[in-house]
Structure 1
Amino acid sequence: MSVSGAASTTADVIVVGAGPGGSATAAYLGMAGLDVLLLEKTHFPREKVCGDGLTPRAVRELITLGIPTPEDEGWIRNKGLRIIGAGMRLQLDWPENSAFPPYGLVRTRQDFDEILAQHAVKNGARLIEGCNVTGPITDAAGRIVGVTAKAVDERGRATGQAHEFRAPLVIAADGNSSRLSLAMGREKRDDRPMGVAVRTYYTSPRTNDDYLESWLELWAKDPSGKDVLLPGYGWIFGVGDGTSNVGLGILNTSKAFGNVDYKDVMRRWVETMPGDWTMNDETMTQPIRGAALPMGFNRQPHYADGLLLVGDSGGMVNPFNGEGIAYAMESGRVAAEIVAQAFARTSDAGRERVLQSYNARMKQELGGYYTLGRHFAALIGKPEVMRLATKYGLPRTTLMKFLLKIMANLAEPAGKGAGDRIINTLSRLTPDA
């Protein structure tokens, strides 16, 4: 649907952004019988910087949402995580428990986001592509009651006059920059971790790897041929289409953050890889692109004045591992549940009371865990700590299985194992903020 072709410019809920968080929210709201406008500034299919890897936590959200993931339709399953560092390689399977499936997936964001957006449409959402939201519409009390927008073409160029869309509730799912949140006075918090990730694709025989691969150390050669440790942490994910997604991330807890050329770091690291992996400038299928990773609830409150935040707009990336898709979809599910309950209330005061509960619910679900993640991010930003952890941690398989469970947030809520109990107790007792 085009901006000018919209049959109605009013709805129960407006969702700005058709990434995983926005589309999941819109799909659930459509299932609940609400009239939803899903506004996306680009046109599908569209590229998005991401590792393309989905942990079992993200797979659980796909299952709950009702998205089928058969392998013959391009969903690549993986068994676990392979960790490389300190001259060692450790292969860990995803844990088996009742809360999460025992496998992960890989799917490029070019496909993934469109699949989710079309699922939202199938469940009743009205998707408008090429709709660049330019700002909020507020009432006399400062409450958002709609948005202004302009139609844009595939290159992002404005093609027509401004339009207005109105709803009593607006959901910002417009990513890290979240211009809508900023316009409503919700700035980012500086006391939260922030990451930067860069990635590209290479034609490679490693395309069918059934483990996600994480590199804890990135080595390169200096002009004299000496080994040099580069900043950041890397990954190689087989995409199954003849290519591998290769990328790296750096946290702002590192002194190198903002002080190095991330694309150059990537090239120098890739140059050291074995020749039979065929990862080089000639086999690169796309330019190296980067994106910010907003972590640990770096924008709050998650609901106020008629505007609710999901996913990256609310800083919901996991500080432990940089995973965002699972939490975007998870926050969308929680948000839709609360919004549906709010719309069932018969008074404005009752509706507002329910919507306000979203703030406490998200802190209850993830607040303590994200606080632990912030402390972890601060520690691994110190190279000497990371070197020691890699050297003495990787040889201890039992310890690494525990760390995999905590970093991917895969503890079973009612688990009876010692690891599950420790993780759940730490998350519960750690103050959220």
Structure 2
Amino acid sequence: MTATESETCDVLIVGGGPGGSSCARGLRDSGLDVLIMDKATFPRDKVCAGWITPPVVDLLDLDLADYARDHALQPITRFRTGIIGGTTIETEYGKTVSYGIRRCEFDNYLLKRCGARTQLGTPLKTMECNENGWLINGSLQAKLVVGAGGHFCPVARELNQDHSSEKSVVLAQETEFELTPEQQSLCHVKPDTPELYFCRDLKGYGWCFYKDGYLNVGMGREGEKQLSAVRDEFTDYLDREGRVPKEILGKFKGHAYRLYGLQKRTIVDERVLLVGDAIGMASPQSGEGIRPAIETGFIAADVIRGCQQDYTKVRLAEYQDKLFQRFGEWSDHPEASLIPATLRQFLGRKLMSTQWFTRKVLLDRWFLQQHVSPLVHG
């Protein structure tokens, strides 16, 4: 169902990604009129390595057999990891610990089934506060606005005009394309084995992921202004090691996201709140943001239901409390450490060459987050 040009809604969600669609899904049967606005038309590209863990599958109540009929769904049973230019380790789980997905398919699937009305291909240009909530783009009246537009979310910019620092921001570049039979014979990345290669200074990592005929190669680094040069060093390494020939790689696309907890952000105010990457929810260790985006969407939906259309800052503060309970509070001094950076890097490189640390910490804890309990919501 498509929204008309001029109307009202109870809840306007700005951004149709996993955080926004999960918030909308959490509000189904609430009696609220929910509208999702996004500047893109779906399906749309999204820079992301693209995998989800079993807790995400459970949280979304995904029917894997149904999803796999029309979408890429690659079971992951092992990982290949290492330092760029160093030795590598293969870690075998003997069972499926994640699923590879294509974000263009996954996000579109979640948006279609969330149950909300949509207004796609429509950017948020203006939002003016009035006695009834917010006037959006001069024509849409909303009682509550949920900012779910990722790192560049216009609602997040409205709430954080005095917090323009790029501290804790990760820049990423990625290419994803379908391999021809000839290219498949030249590529040695196994479908069930994503490959993760960390920079020597441990400020970022590159990845290779082959799923359902599509190859995804990318690089992300914290605070890196010359990412293209680092990316080229990584793709040269892949070529030398015989993993992925450089000449088959497609055009790289860029993206940015903020790591959670490293900078204080305003996430609630009068009749407005933020979810997902609009807050900056990516894991500081792995950069993974799909699960926290989905969880914040459902937590926000629970709080919105409980507000009974009283969307004052005082009532919405419960959302921030629940978010901190789930993910921890902001760090006041994220860079403070008794261990010098050079020593941390030396220890990190040494540890990443051991099977125990690679499995128990790097993979189980940082990337798969197996220690994190399932979210209870609703």
CA deviations 1:77-131 (Å, max 9, x no partner) are 11243211273322335699xxxxx5212112111111111011xx3x1011111
Q: Helix, strand or coil: the match of 2:319?
A: helix
Residue matched to 1:106? 100
CA 95–15 in structure 1, closer or farther in 2 if over 3 Å, else same? farther
Q: Which residue of 2 aligns with 1:363?
A: 324
Structure-1 residue corresponding to 2:344: 385
Aligned to 2:122: 131
Shift of 1:2: 5.2
1:45-103 CA distance string (max 9 Å, x none): 2111111122x2xx42343223323344421111243211273322335699xxxxx52
Q: Relative to structure 1, is the Cα distance of residues 301 and 338 closer, same or farther in structure 2, using a 3 angstrom cutoff?
A: same
What's the counterpart of residue 194 of structure 2?
Answer: 212
Q: Distance in 1 between matches of 2:332 and 2:352?
A: 19
Shift of the alpha carbon at 1:213?
1.6
- 1:249 deviation in Å? 1.2
Q: CA deviation at 1:43?
A: 0.9
- Aligned equivalents of 1:79 and 1:373: distance in 2? 37
CA contact (8 A) 2:176 2:216 kept: yes
Give the TM-score taking structure 2 as reference length: 0.83
Partner of 2:285: 320
Does residue 42 of structure 2 align to residue 83 of structure 1? Answer: no
Question: In 2, Cα distance between the equivalents of 1:358 and 1:392?
Answer: 38
Partners of 1:248 and 1:379 lie apart in 2 by: 29
Residue matched to 1:279: 245
Equivalence map 1:33-432=2 (5 Å): 33-54=31-52, 56=53, 59-70=54-65, 71-73=68-70, 74-85=72-83, 87-92=86-91, 103-120=97-114, 123=115, 125-139=116-130, 145-149=133-137, 163-188=138-163, 190=165, 192-201=167-176, 203=179, 204=184, 205-206=187-188, 208-217=190-199, 232-241=204-213, 243-252=214-223, 257-258=224-225, 260=226, 262-274=227-239, 277-281=243-247, 283-285=248-250, 287-297=251-261, 298=263, 300-343=265-308, 348=310, 353-367=314-328, 371=331, 374=334, 382=341, 385-397=344-356, 400-408=359-367, 409-413=369-373
Distance change >3 Å, CA 172–CA 299, structure 1 → 2: farther
CA distance in 2, matches of 1:117, 1:19: 7
- Structure 1: stretches of 5+ with no match in the other structure: 97-101, 150-162, 219-228, 415-433
Distance 1:388 1:372 in 2: 25
Say whether the 8 Å CA contact 2:239–2:246 is kept in structure 1: no
Q: What are the ranges of 5 or more consecutive residues in structure 2 without an aligned counterpart?
A: none
TM-score (norm 1): 0.73
Distance 1:173 1:210 in 2: 31
Q: Deviations over 1:347-369 (max 9, x none)?
A: x48x754421111111111025x
Aligned-residue offset at 1:388: 3.1
Provide the secondary structure at the position in 1 that maps to 2:23.
helix
8 Å Cα contact 1:95-1:410 kept in structure 2 = no
CA contact (8 A) 1:45 1:110 kept: yes
Question: Distance in 1 between the 2:87 and 2:102 partners?
Answer: 29
- Percent identity between matched residues is 24
Contact 1:235 1:246 in 2 (8 A): yes
Distance 1:372 1:394 in 2: 32
SS class of match (1:133):
coil
Larger relative contact order (CA 8 Å, sep ≥ 6):
2
CA distance in 2, matches of 1:235, 1:78: 14
Q: What is the total number of aligned residue pairs between the two structures?
A: 360
Q: Does the 8 A contact of 2:203 with 2:222 survive in 1?
A: no
Instruction: Give the root-mean-square deviation of aligned CA atoms.
Output: 3.3
Q: State the Cα deviation string for residues 290-346 of structure 1 (Å, max 9, x = none).
A: 111211244623211111100111111111111111111110011111111112x7x
